[in-house]
């Protein structure tokens, strides 16, 4: 049996999405900037896709800019605001548990003379709104806090964060890549100025994403050269990907309730059964303010990498908190920020369910995982000492 439980890393392209993309590789190949019928056909396809993405966010079509993915959207939002508002101020506020596309961009800007505050999070991964308020200074230009965390699934109070920013005339951005397609999303209601999304996390193609930029927000262009994306991101558009993203966006919000119901049922089953069957297990992330498909567990006395390899041998694909940046031995910055010790962070496993996950697959994981954890623990000298006691931590 093969079981894919890494939907937070990427998702397969849905059949309906792929079908809409295919003609735009060959028959419908015109350059959207051309004025002839070939060009117009491609331009029309982009317009339709942009409308669909805009609709999924309750944004206006002119506020949607296609990018080469979520990382690019994050980079652009942060650098674009920083460079556009350089004369107004140089201070940016973010959190310690952001995706690297945000964290490394902020670190880069620090080298460029900007000042960045990295807010702490509590044990569940939530930022403190009072701390956020206190961090705002006269030179603060941007607050960028992720909507939902990719490792532990915790959902931040983005509406409140945007409100706090607005009261102090500071722009707000959110990396909504994980939240998109899992949470009802209305940019008007949220009140954010910028928001990043990516297609391949919602059953669309890789290498395409979008940045929502509220009307009148000043943003430095990303790529100079042409008139594409309202002169802010030059380059001939990736039309098949854009078309696929449009379709994926449409499907994602067609039946969000049903999607969430399916994911939450499987997620809750994994969490509750694994925690009962495996002693010394801790759930990471918020118990309720949590993405519908996210399970993140720490098993004491084992090493996440060996667990992943053992799971892979029985066909189960998950992800661990230890080598998020492959080649690095440091545990994930997210797990460290919620207060886990190095040892416990190293024994973490993220399983993320999606639209194609079945009950049979979940039953299979619940059957296979406990004996694997037990076998790995038998090799641990620390476990030897506490064996016999089956209290959960």
Ligand X SMILES: *Cc1c(COP(=O)(O)O)cnc(C)c1O
Query: Segment near ligand X (CB under 6 A), from 77-85, 118-126, 170-178, 249-257?
Result: 170-178
Helix (H, G, I), strand (E, B) or coil at 272: helix
Residue 237 lies near ligand X (rule: CB under 6 A): no
Minimum gap (Å) between residue 150 Cβ and ligand X? 4
Minimum gap (Å) between residue 177 Cβ and ligand X? 4
Alpha-carbon span 380 to 300, nearest angstrom: 10
Alpha-carbon span 345 to 336, nearest angstrom: 7
Sheet harboring 348-352: ordered strands across? 281-283, 294-299, 348-352, 319-320
Residue 146 lies near ligand X (rule: CB under 6 A): yes
Residue 209 lies near ligand X (rule: CB under 6 A): yes
Minimum gap (Å) between residue 142 Cβ and ligand X? 17
Task: Figure out which of the listed residues 30, 32, 69, 153 binds ligand X, where binding follows CB under 6 A.
Answer: 69
Alpha-carbon span 247 to 237, nearest angstrom: 16
Residue 151 lies near ligand X (rule: CB under 6 A): no
Residue of 171, 192, 222, 324 marked catalytic? 324
CA distances from 313 to 123, 273, 325, 350 (A): 33, 22, 22, 17
**Following DSSP, what letter does each residue of 186-243 receive, concatenated?**
-HHHH--SEEEEEGGGTTS-TT-EEEEE-TT-----SB-SSSHHHHTB-S---HHHHH
Task: Say which residues have a Cβ less than 8 Å from residue 128's Cβ, sequence separation at least 6.
Answer: 119, 120, 122
Task: Figure out which of the listed residues 42, 56, 71, 337 binds ligand X, where binding follows CB under 6 A.
Answer: 71
Task: Figure out which of the listed residues 52, 173, 201, 214 binds ligand X, where binding follows CB under 6 A.
Answer: 201
Active site residue 324: yes
* Interface mask toward ligand X for 23-62; x: CB under 6 A: ----------------------------------------
Minimum gap (Å) between residue 107 Cβ and ligand X? 16
Task: Figure out which of the listed residues 145, 177, 211, 335 binds ligand X, where binding follows CB under 6 A.
Answer: 177
Which residues are tagged catalytic? Answer: 324
């Amino acid at each position: 049996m093969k079981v894919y439980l890494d939907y937070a890393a990427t998702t397969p392209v849905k059949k309906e999405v792929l079908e809409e993309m295919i003609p735009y590789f060959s028959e419908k190949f015109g350059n959207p900037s051309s004025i002839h019928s070939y060009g117009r056909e491609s331009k029309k396809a982009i317009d339709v896709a942009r409308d669909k993405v805009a609709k999924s966010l309750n944004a206006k079509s002119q506020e949607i800019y296609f990018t080469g993915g979520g990382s690019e959207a994050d980079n652009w939002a942060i650098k674009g605001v920083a460079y556009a508002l350089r004369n107004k101020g140089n201070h940016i506020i973010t959190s310690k548990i952001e995706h690297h596309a945000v964290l490394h961009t902020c670190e880069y800007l620090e080298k460029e003379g900007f000042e960045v505050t990295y807010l702490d999070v509590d044990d569940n991964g939530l930022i403190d709104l009072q701390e956020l308020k206190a961090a705002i200074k006269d030179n603060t230009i941007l607050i960028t806090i992720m909507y939902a965390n990719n490792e532990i699934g915790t959902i931040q109070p983005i509406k409140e964060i945007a409100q706090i920013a607005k009261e102090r005339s500071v722009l707000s951005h959110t990396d909504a890549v994980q939240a998109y397609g899992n949470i009802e999303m209305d940019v008007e209601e949220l009140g954010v100025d910028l928001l990043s999304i990516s297609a391949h996390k919602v059953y669309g193609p890789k290498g395409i994403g979008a940045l929502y930029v509220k009307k009148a927000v000043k943003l430095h262009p990303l790529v100079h050269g042409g008139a594409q994306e309202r002169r802010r991101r030059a380059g001939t558009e990736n039309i098949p990907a854009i078309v696929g993203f449009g379709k994926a966006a449409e499907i994602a919000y067609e039946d969000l309730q049903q999607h969430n119901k399916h994911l939450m049922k499987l997620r809750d089953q994994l969490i509750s059964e694994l925690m009962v069957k495996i002693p010394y297990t801790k759930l990471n992330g918020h118990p309720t303010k949590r993405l519908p498909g996210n399970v993140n567990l720490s098993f004491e006395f084992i090493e996440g990498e060996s667990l992943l390899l053992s799971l892979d041998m029985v066909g189960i694909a998950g992800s661990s908190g230890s080598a998020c940046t492959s080649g690095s031995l440091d545990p994930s910055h997210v797990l460290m920020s919620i207060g886990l010790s190095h040892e416990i962070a190293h024994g973490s496993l993220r399983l993320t369910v999606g639209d194609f996950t079945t009950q049979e697959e979940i039953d299979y994981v619940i059957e296979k995982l406990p004996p694997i954890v037990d076998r790995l623990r038998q090799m641990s000298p620390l476990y030897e000492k506490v064996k016999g006691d089956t209290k959960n931590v």
